[in-house]
A and B are shown apart, each in its own frame.
Chain A
Amino acid sequence: MASNKTAQFDAVKTLHKIEDHFEMFQILDHEGNVVNEDAMPDISDEDLQELMHRMVYTRILDQRSISLNRQGRLGFYAPTAGQEASQIASHFALEKEDWVVPGYRDVPQIIWHGLPLSQAFLFSRGHYLGNQSPEGVNVLPPQIIIGAQYVQTAGIALGLKKRGKKAVAITYTGDGGSSQGDFYEGINFAGAYAAPAIFVVQNNQFAISTPRDKQTAGKTIAQKAVSAGIPGILVDGMDPLAVYAATKDARDRAVNGEGPTLIETLCYRYGPHTMAGDDPTRYRTDEMDTEWEKKDPLVRFRKFLEDKNLWNEERENESIEKAKEEIKEAIKVADDTPKQKVTDLMENMYEEMPNNLKEQYEIYKEKESK
């Protein structure tokens, strides 16, 4: 028999109370106006210009990568246009000694962290030398298994903490990735050890064709931080200043021993999921594209800087030319890279080859000598 007794505890109200805490953090609106002066990060004019330069450069890199992919001069490529604020401004808040643990779409961050462009292109083509990042550049190759980068980041961050280093490990996944077990385990482990990690969820609205609301009933992804008992923040991912400020704040707290943060950046990818045949017109409307194009991080940041007399067409063209020139150069370096041999692959398996590999090595060496 159903009870008429009124519940003393209103579970729905509790949920809404939690969700209400995750309001979107924004500093620049679509027109480039500062709407949150108090939160304005302390950032020099030169740094503001450098940030714009990197975002413009990254937009060009995306355009050229798509084009080179279509020409068959690049392989696997996950477009980044639209996510410059989310990717580049978050990276801009880091220091050299920090670790960047990227997903497959996060090639720009590791490039700005020190991976040569030519190696990023070799990664795209599928060449082991693309993943051999230079010594002292703390980046992992882009992670293909969605969520794996999260648990690994918890481990790196714990390592940094144990070593007493004033550094963080930052990692990125998408909105779809927040449904994975490793996503949850990663933030939960980092929380339990108060490890200096920054977990970024770039919510670009779609996981291939699956819209964000098919991933979870949660109103935000940022609120998933509550399950790990760590701070979470929802940021306008098209706003470079808000993303920078949120990441900087998370970094400061992490290196002060206060543990990890989950940052959800609300953003959009203008291109397809990857260049491997995805057709976004199947699941996205023109209206949606148009609406998000108005929110373009470059448009608003350009306006903001122009109003401060820190940016003009000439500067923008310089960035574009520099990008195109360096991309051309990097593709050439990639083209000139020696082809991979099976013996190369064998050499990278173990410090010392076990017997089965030693035996196969001789067979392939013989084959390769012909």
Chain B
Amino acid sequence: MAQMTMIQAITDALRTEMKNDENVLVFGEDVGLNGGVFRATEGLQKEYGEDRVFDTPLAESGIGGLAIGLALEGYRPVPEIQFFGFVFEVMDSVSGQMARMRYRSGGKYSSPITIRSPFGGGVHTPELHADSLEGLMAQQPGLKVVIPSTPKDAKGLLIASIRDNDPVIFLEHMKLYRSFREEVPEEDYTIELGKADVKREGTDLSIITYGAMVHESLKAAEALEKDGYSVEVIDLRTIQPIDIETIIASVEKTNRAIVVQEAQKQAGIAASVVAEINDRAILSLEAPVLRVTAADTVFPFSQAESVWLPNSKDVIATAKKVLEF
């Protein structure tokens, strides 16, 4: 076991899989010699050579096409999109192409590709760096979308993503990269995709969340405990497909739920979680399922992040509305 930040855990997962499988290729803008703009691929090119870890021209769409083509020749590409706001440049390669490859070829070809990309607010990035666009990905059949919130989860989920024979979008929240350390096993291990994790057990309210909002929700749960409420916090970890079983089991126990996301109300995946609960556990509900989200504006100018991004106070307020409904 070693104390690692999330970014270290990600590098460790990449190193582990590069060692395990010579078909794993890491490429993107500045991921080689430079080790990535966040150092996520630090040292990998030195260790595995330019043939396995390499820089690309500055063109996201080309990177997507490169990944698809390399996969057709039997490689297991792990490309990086420098910031997920740049996904619009590569939407066709991702949603129009790799997500559909297995289906359109009647199962002859597949896209065992893991796209890594940072996102998330709270670190005052310039325009289109921090936007939460996971909702777009979650709507595309053929993709899986993974968003870890802890170093330990990040390593296990990334290894599982790389080993998955279908395309996975692996979104790394920038604020969580180095915000805390955690014990991470040194050996290789996987965390099953599509499985949520109960980060805190409780009996009065279920908070269903992911990404940086997991930590805001845990903070809120602690505060609510002081008010006498027992709150369960579910970290989805994979937002497509959603672990419905874990959510429903929790809601049937607590009878109340809120969904917390950093994305705007019209974006993200909270609406989808609410719909699943309504479909499957309406008779258990003592109150409507409410959402904590950002406002339906463009992602804020960096100085406005603190008033725009949802935080633990918003979680507490919404939780109380549901608890006192």
Task: Digitize A144-165: 1 where CB-to-B-CB distance is under 8 Å, 0 elsewhere.
Answer: 0100101111111111101100
B57 within 8 A of A: yes
A123 to B93, CA, bound (A): 21
> Is B97 a contact partner of A148 (Cβ separation < 8 A)?
yes
> Is A158 a contact partner of B105 (Cβ separation < 8 A)?
no
Nearest A residue (CB) for B72: A156
> Is B141 a contact partner of A151 (Cβ separation < 8 A)?
no
Nearest B residue (CB) for A189: B62
Say which residue of B57, B96, B242 sits within 8 Å of A189 (CB atoms): B57
- Given A185-B62, A189-B65; A159-B103 close (CB under 8 Å): no
Say which residue of A151, A163, A354 sits within 8 Å of B73 (CB atoms): A163
Chain B residues with Cβ below 8 Å from A181 are 61
Chain A residues with Cβ below 8 Å from B126 are none
B191 within 8 A of A: no
Q: How far is the CB of A168 from chain B (nearest CB, A)?
A: 12
A187 to B30, CA, bound (A): 21
> Is B68 a contact partner of A152 (Cβ separation < 8 A)?
yes
A39 to B243, CA, bound (A): 64
A348 within 8 A of B: yes
Nearest A residue (CB) for B101: A140
> Is B92 a contact partner of A148 (Cβ separation < 8 A)?
yes
A124 to B103, CA, bound (A): 16
> Is A145 a contact partner of B69 (Cβ separation < 8 A)?
no
B178 within 8 A of A: no
Binds B, one of A127-135, A299-307, A321-329: A127-135
Nearest B residue (CB) for A185: B62
Interface positions, chain B 70-86, Cβ under 8 Å from A, are 70-75
> Is B93 a contact partner of A148 (Cβ separation < 8 A)?
yes
- Given A188-B57, A188-B62; A349-B69 close (CB under 8 Å): no
> Is A141 a contact partner of B104 (Cβ separation < 8 A)?
yes
A345 to B75, CA, bound (A): 25
> Is B70 a contact partner of A349 (Cβ separation < 8 A)?
no
- Given A185-B59, A351-B110, A354-B144; A151-B65 close (CB under 8 Å): yes
Interface positions, chain A 338-370, Cβ under 8 Å from B, are 345, 347-351, 354-357
A169 to B56, CA, bound (A): 19
A13 to B166, CA, bound (A): 52
Nearest A residue (CB) for B241: A354
- Given A152-B69, A192-B57; A349-B102 close (CB under 8 Å): yes
> Is B106 a contact partner of A160 (Cβ separation < 8 A)?
no
Chain A residues with Cβ below 8 Å from B93 are 148, 151
B282 within 8 A of A: no
A25 within 8 A of B: no
Task: Digitize B127-160: 1 where CB-to-A-CB distance is under 8 Å, 0 elsewhere.
Answer: 0000000000000011010000000000000000
- Given A141-B104, A151-B65; A159-B72 close (CB under 8 Å): yes
Q: How far is the CB of A114 from chain B (nearest CB, A)?
A: 13
- Given A148-B92, A355-B241; A159-B144 close (CB under 8 Å): no
> Is B65 a contact partner of A182 (Cβ separation < 8 A)?
yes
Chain A residues with Cβ below 8 Å from B241 are 354-357
Chain A residues with Cβ below 8 Å from B103 are 128, 345, 348-349
Chain A residues with Cβ below 8 Å from B110 are 351
A150 to B109, CA, bound (A): 18
Chain A residues with Cβ below 8 Å from B70 are 155-156, 158-159, 162
B316 within 8 A of A: no
Task: Digitize A187-210: 1 where CB-to-B-CB distance is under 8 Å, 0 elsewhere.
Answer: 011001000000000000000000
B36 within 8 A of A: no
> Is B105 a contact partner of A131 (Cβ separation < 8 A)?
yes
A99 within 8 A of B: yes
B227 within 8 A of A: no
> Is B104 a contact partner of A131 (Cβ separation < 8 A)?
yes
Shortest 8 CB-CB contacts between residues of A and residues of B? A155-B69, A151-B65, A159-B73, A132-B106, A185-B62, A354-B241, A156-B69, A155-B66
Give A residues with C-beta under 8 Å from B: 99, 128-133, 135, 140-141, 145, 148, 150-160, 162-163, 169, 181-182, 185-186, 188-189, 192, 345, 347-351, 354-357
- 16 A-B residue pairs with CB within 8 Å: A131-B108, A145-B96, A150-B65, A151-B65, A155-B68, A155-B69, A155-B73, A156-B73, A182-B62, A188-B59, A188-B62, A189-B56, A189-B66, A192-B56, A349-B141, A354-B144
Beyond the given pairs A155-B72, A159-B69, 20 more chain A to chain B contacts, judged by CB atoms under 8 angstroms and listed by A's residue number, are A128-B104, A132-B105, A140-B105, A140-B109, A141-B105, A152-B97, A153-B69, A154-B65, A154-B69, A155-B65, A159-B74, A163-B74, A181-B61, A185-B61, A188-B62, A347-B107, A350-B166, A351-B110, A354-B194, A355-B241
Give B residues with C-beta under 8 Å from A: 51, 56-57, 59, 61-62, 64-75, 92-93, 96-97, 102-110, 141-142, 144, 164-166, 194, 241-245
